[in-house]
Structure 1
Amino acid sequence: MYCVGFLEPFIRMTGGSETAFLDMMAYFMMLCGFLAGVVTSSGIPTPYGRYTSPKFGWGLESRTAWFIQELPAFAVPVLLIVFCNCQYSSSLPNSILVGLFLTHYFQRTFLFSLLIRGGKVTPLIPFLLATAFCSYNGFMQGRYLTQYAVYSQEWMKDPRFILGSLVFVTGMAINIHSDYILRNLRKPGETGYKIPSGGMFDYVSGANFFGEIVEWSGFAVACWSLQGLAFACFTFCVLTPRARQHHMYYLEKFEDYPKSRKAVIPFIL
């Protein structure tokens, strides 16, 4: 535990057990996700993109802000592997699960940030919250999977691991494809908002959000851990209200917006 000695006072609060501390982190993440969902659902929009407001702090350039806020979710697990005596970092099931997590955040940090086309500035407060969350989640997932999660080689044959991994990859593909559609809605020189179509946008207004919800639900099943479940719950609680914001915006702005589309879950929600 020497490499996370700075957390020792908090770990002592859970009886000196780091596993109990990681469980506490997971429960706290679920609570935060629930509260964030309640606040957003009450009519207070998440202040980013078209909902950006100067009252949430001075703005940062969108590409730079995105890169910095997402980076800890990739960097923290990598640093844990490199500098900590990770008990299970060489286990193949553990390595695959960590690899899934890092693959997502490599794409979101190093590729997605480069593909952002201008856009509105990112207010300071949501930027700081996003950075804190990525640091928190990067540590929780990385530390649990490399130090405390025990998976035998047989886990790779378990239906939960196989199904969860396939669902994760499917969700990531939906998320990346949906982002591609959104980036290419406007031709060079055009401004304003358009109705997205194609892919999962034919079924839901928040196709990119749906992809992430599917992705981390699959990750939770593949890991079969409290930490994975907490991330999936947080993702659902936070992204569902955002998708509903977009859905209501489209319905109000475009008279010809497809009425058959749902907000985030096809045919349901």
Structure 2
Amino acid sequence: MAFADDAWRYVHGLAGGEVQLIYYVSYMFLAWGALVAVSLQVVSAPYGRYARKGWGVGVTANVAWAIQELPSFAVPLLLLALSDSPKIHDLPNKIILGLFLLHYFQRTFIFSPLIKGGKATPLVPFLMAFVFCTMNGYLQGRYLLRYADFSADWERKPTFLLGMFINIQSDSILRNLRDPGETCYKIPRGGMFEYVSGANFLGEILEWWGFAVASCTLPALGFAVFTTCNIGPRACQHHQWYRQKFEDYPKGRRAVLPFIL
């Protein structure tokens, strides 16, 4: 529908205005990631096992995850429905956007309902995650649907698929640690947890760096850097938490990078 793209150009002024906006927000993600990485050296993000008072009322964990992740799936679909850009028909654009949608379909509609007994997510981090996913859904979806060009050797996406497998497998291991009715924490074992405490975080980091390599776009790079800066320190915090809580915690296990960190 041509009127949709005319509307986008009207909103952003000149034809190049939207690209500049996407680049500005991508650079903001890079700066935001650096600030998050520094702040997480001092304080833990207040959700999950580190949830605490002072950050707003709690939102049930699986409801919070489903709602906050949904924009990263729904916004690109909306953009797809409203756009008639010829790039929609380019195979690389369709595949790379499809991988992005696959991840967030799994996180929204499969992972979230399966969460068992997680702590309620305080309102402030929930809203921040919702805003981020909305912005990121727009950035990745719009750039891939309208502006991204790919060369013949773009097919470098195995890292994304490997990362997604590790992420899903690790989430399954964590989810099945507790028997029905249990609330205690246990040492995760199996899969990449044999090597790192934050196997689920390692999987997601690999996913988005694979996505960045496959797409070679500034928005994808900004997202990969932000993800690494956001959940890399959390993996290190988890590692320290496990070591303090369990005397028999595996000594050779690292935080997020096998054999290294």
**Structure 2 alignment gaps of length 5 or more:** none
Deviation at 1:190, TM superposition (A): 2.1
RMSD of equivalent CA atoms: 1.5
- 2:196 is matched with which residue: 182, 190, 204? 204
Calculate the TM-score normalised by the size of structure 1.
0.92
Secondary structure of the structure 2 residue equivalent to 1:126: helix
Q: What amino acid sits opposite 1:178 in the alignment? A: S
Match of 2:138, SS? helix
Aligned to 2:82: 83
- 1:88-108 deviation digits (Å, cap 9, x = unpaired): 111111000000000000000
2:222 aligned partner, one-letter code: A
Aligned to 1:31: 31
Find the partner of 2:8 among 4, 7, 12.
Answer: 4
Alignment of 1:40-119 (within 5 A): 40-42=40-42, 44-119=43-118
The residue that corresponds to 1:120 in the other structure is 119
CA distance in 2, matches of 1:172, 1:72: 19
TM-score normalized with structure 2 length: 0.94
Runs of 5+ unmatched residues, structure 1: none
Establish whether residue 262 from structure 1 lines up as the match of residue 261 from structure 2.
Answer: no
The SS at the match of 1:201 is helix
Q: Which amino acid aligns with 1:41?
A: Q
CA shift for structure 1 position 7? 5.0
Counterpart-to-counterpart distance in 1, 2:155 and 2:236: 31
Cα distance in 2 between the residues matched to 1:162 and 1:3: 33
Matches of 1:38 and 1:240 in 2, distance apart? 11
Determine whether 1:226 maps to 2:218.
Answer: yes
Runs of 4+ in 1 over 3 A off after TM superposition: 1-7
User: For 1:54, what is the secondary structure of its paired residue?
Assistant: coil
| Deviating more after overlay: 139-148 vs 224-233 | 224-233
Task: Look up the match of 2:166.
Answer: 174
List per-residue Cα deviations over 1:229-263 (Å, max 9, x = no partner): 11111111001110011001001000111111111
Structure 1 residues 20 and 266: CA distance shift in structure 2, 3 A: same
Write the letter of the residue equivalent to 2:257.
Answer: I
**Match for residue 183 of structure 1 among 168, 175, 187:** 175
Matching residue's letter, 1:27: Y
- CA positional deviation for 1:2: 3.3
Please give the alpha-carbon distance, in whole angstroms, between the structure 1 residues aligned to 2:59 and 2:85.
36
Letter in 1 for 2:116: R
C-alpha distance in 2, partners of 1:258/1:136? 39
C-alpha distance after superposition, 1:186-222 (max 9, x if no partner): 1122221000010000000000000000000100000
Q: How many residues align?
A: 257
The code of the aligned residue for 2:159 comes to V
Displacement after TM superposition at 1:5 (Å)? 5.8
Establish whether residue 245 from structure 1 lines up as the match of residue 249 from structure 2: no
**3-state DSSP of counterpart to 2:257:** coil
